[in-house]
Amino acid sequence: MDACIPQDRAPRDFCVKFPEEIRHDSLAGQLWFGAECLAAGSIIMNRELESMAMRPLAKELTRSLEDVRGALRDQALRDLSTYTEKMRDALRHFDVLFAEFELSYVSAMVPVKSPREYYVQQEVTVLFCETVERALDCGYLTQDMIDDYEPALMFTIPRLAIV
């Protein structure tokens, strides 16, 4: 995929939300094993609802890999230096499905914040920053209080933000 569709890869920005211990080189292999098991009817231990929800995606992902394999076979019988549009389409489709499955599977296994949760967290952060800036301008807080990590600020900033 890196050689054939380097600019058309599915975005993987969500991976930054994964805990550090999850992000490693063998994650793709573990995900693929999980997809094959789910597609075959297995259930993730203590995650029955999530397993049932991911099963259609896992089946579509495994079918998509078969399409990629077929396209690769056709490509191998032709010119190896160029990539057909069929090959590109198969890889794009597989990449999108794999990225979707990656997010779903890891989210089922470990707590991962949703985009909405990140947005709300960002909004609260901006609100607190604006509150601190305004409190400094109005003289409610001093720069020394902020620099010294004054414990009273832990309670003051959220209260000021509410007001």
Report pLDDT digits (tens) over 16-29. Answer: 778 778 888 888 89
Report pLDDT digits (tens) over 138-160. Answer: 888 788 887 887 777 777 777 77
Q: Please enumerate, as own/partner, the contacts of 110-113 that have beta carbons within 8 Å and a separation of 24 or more.
A: 110/18, 110/19, 110/22, 112/14, 112/17, 112/18, 113/17
Tell me whether residue 45 is in a domain: yes
Mark whether 92 and 25 lie in a shared domain: yes
Mark whether 67 and 17 lie in a shared domain: yes
Mark whether 135 and 78 lie in a shared domain: no
Q: How many domains, in total, are found in the chain?
A: 2
Report pLDDT digits (tens) over 44-87. Answer: 888 899 999 999 999 999 999 999 999 999 888 887 778 889 99
How many other C-beta atoms can be found within 10 angstroms of the C-beta atom of residue 36?
14
Give residue 88's domain range. Answer: 13-109
pLDDT at residue 94 greater than cutoff 90: yes
